[in-house]
Amino acid sequence: MFETLRDWMGSGRAGAAQRWLVLDCESSGLDPERDRLLSIAAVALHVEGAALRLVPADSFEAVLQQPASPHAPDKTNILIHGIGVGAQEGGVAPAQALQDFSTFAAGAPLIGYHVSFDRRLIERTERGLGLRTPPRRWLDLAELAPVLKRDVPGKALDDWLQAFGIQCLVRHQAASDALATAELLQCLWPLARRRPEEAPDFRALLTLAEARRWLGA
């Protein structure tokens, strides 16, 4: 286990391994064009040879500081994500949190379930803060999973977690959801490999995910 990302990148293994990040966000509502980004979390998967290894020590989590509001808090929303008013007001300054996330990501591909929501939320928040959005590669596991395994009913993350017996410690908590989604990709991994000794690269997974449109999955 490497102490830091710099150790991993400087170990001589960066050329032999790929580093992918599985992320999840929590928000103040369901509209990524209007609601606020409350928290972001990510955990790394390292592709080493044909193996996909989950590395919990290579992870990130931040609650973004929210301004105090004179209005009553949305208790229903808080019950969903569990980020109380005190935690929101005591979080990390949004610009700092997003800059820290970009530094942590270091250009790694980003993966999530229905990740277009997270992408729009993050990028809109960055634009609002005047931050430069770095080029990023995104993969939606909600598109990839049905191509690899077509016999799972339902389209929600919970359906897929149940199909593989994956336990999510706290649903709708960014770090916990990111970890469960990473475990789901690990379960799907053998189905993505053409041969046991080979691992697909990120572009190959994107191509498979795009096939969903043609298959009508």
> Sorting pLDDT into bands at 50, 70 and 90, what band is 100?
very high
For position 6, what pLDDT does the model report?
Answer: 37
For position 168, what pLDDT does the model report?
Answer: 95
Residue 7 has pLDDT above 60, yes or no: no
In angstroms, rounded to a whole number, what is the distance separating the alpha carbons of residues 206 and 101?
A: 23
Residue 34 has pLDDT above 80, yes or no: yes
> Sorting pLDDT into bands at 50, 70 and 90, what band is 17?
confident
> Sorting pLDDT into bands at 50, 70 and 90, what band is 133?
confident
Strands (DSSP E) contained in 64-179 are 110-112, 138-140
Query: Lowest mean pLDDT: which of 8-12, 140-144, 171-175, 193-197?
Result: 8-12
Residue 186 has pLDDT above 90, yes or no: yes
Residue 172, SS3 per DSSP: coil
40 near 59, Cβ under 8 Å?
A: no
The rounded mean pLDDT for the chain is: 85
Write the single-letter amino acid at 69.
S
DSSP state of 216: T
The angle at the Cα of 45, spanning 39 to 51, to the nearest 5 degrees, equals 160
Percent of the chain with pLDDT over 90: 66
**Averaged pLDDT for residues 28-39:** 92
Residue 9, SS3 per DSSP: helix
Q: What is the pLDDT of residues 19-29, one digit of tens each?
A: 999 999 999 88
CATH, domain range 5-215: 3.30.420.10
**Averaged pLDDT for residues 195-201:** 84
H or E element at residue 65 = none
182 vs 216 pLDDT, higher one: 182
For position 197, what pLDDT does the model report?
Answer: 78
Residue 75 has pLDDT above 60, yes or no: no
Rounded to 10 degrees, the C-alpha dihedral 84/90/93/94 comes to 0
**Averaged pLDDT for residues 145-168:** 95
Separation of first and last alpha carbons in the chain:
38
For position 78, what pLDDT does the model report?
Answer: 55
